[in-house]
Amino acid sequence: MRTILALLLVLAVAPAAAQDDPFGSPMWEVLRGEYFGTAPVVFDGRVAVTAPASAENVFAVPVAVDARGLEGVREIVLLADLNPFPLVLRFRPDAAAPFVATRIKVQQATAVRGAALTADGVWHVGGALVDAAGGGCAAPAQAYAEKDWAQHVGEVQARAWAPGPAGTTRVRLRIRHPQDTGLVAGIPAYFIEELALTGDDGRVLGRLQTGEPVAENPVFTLELHPGATRAVRLRGRDNQAGEIDATIPLPWVGREG
């Protein structure tokens, strides 16, 4: 009986590594080679990608990747197959849950994928199909209609919630930034490239590398394990050497009673 069960397990798992793309995307094999190289890749329902089936706003489509069903996640990659720039972000959950939510631009109907790299070197891929009228990556930022937009670039609004049943601290960040892709004539690419969250003891909690498809005035939601730190420091930069720096207090830490 044990032999039969073991054989059934092998048959259930082995084909997943070689199975066809469930979304039938013409870009999948290219993206697989570019972003995952020769590493094993499996389509895995434990990587849940949440996105609307039809985009109401192609300039800001809400997307979340939740890989908390896996153990030992080292990195999360978010891709939009048919965008001019498929790579949306990379997230390294140093002291965070393997979860990230944001808003993205969508150029056309596309598969949106979340891939989680586990400690054994395997990429686990989940996804969702998003229908869209298109054009989300090829329009200028709305911020340019405001005369003083440049004075507010890099401003941060943030909120943190006290730990819930899972023991994580939810942090939501909103950063003022036009996030231009560079696809509009006469407007150069201008977007946030790197963000890092650390505790007041310098411990790294999470790192993000972000690309052109992240929506204007980006919003990020993360689930951190801050430990005893009383504040989270956010630091980052954009591709034109602009700096981002903010502190998010955790007022409940160390509170008596």
Report whether pLDDT(18) > 50.
Answer: no
Class (C level, CATH) for 26-249: mainly beta
Render pLDDT for 197-207 as a digit per residue (tens, 0 to 9): 999 999 999 99
Mean pLDDT within 65-94: 98
Q: What is the pTM of this model?
A: 0.90
- The residue type found at 129 is L
Closest CA to 244 of 155, 172, 148, 158: 155
Q: What is the pLDDT of residue 85?
A: 97
Mean of the pLDDT values across residues 120-148? 94
* Residue 216: pLDDT over 90: yes
- Report yes or no: 134 and 183 within 8 Å, Cβ to Cβ: no
Q: What is the average per-residue pLDDT within 28-56?
A: 97
Evaluate if residue 131 carries a pLDDT over 60: yes
Instruction: Give 156-188 pLDDT, tens digit per residue.
Output: 999 999 998 999 999 999 999 999 999 999 999
Task: Supply the pLDDT for residue 195.
Answer: 98
Compute the average pLDDT of residues 79-93: 98
For the chain, the average pLDDT equals 92
Phi first, then psi: what are they for 33, rounded to 5°? Answer: -70, -40
Overall average pLDDT of the 107-129 stretch: 98
DSSP string across 78-110: EEETTSSS-EEEEEE-TTEEEEEEEEE--SSSE
- pLDDT category at 19 given cuts 50, 70, 90 is low
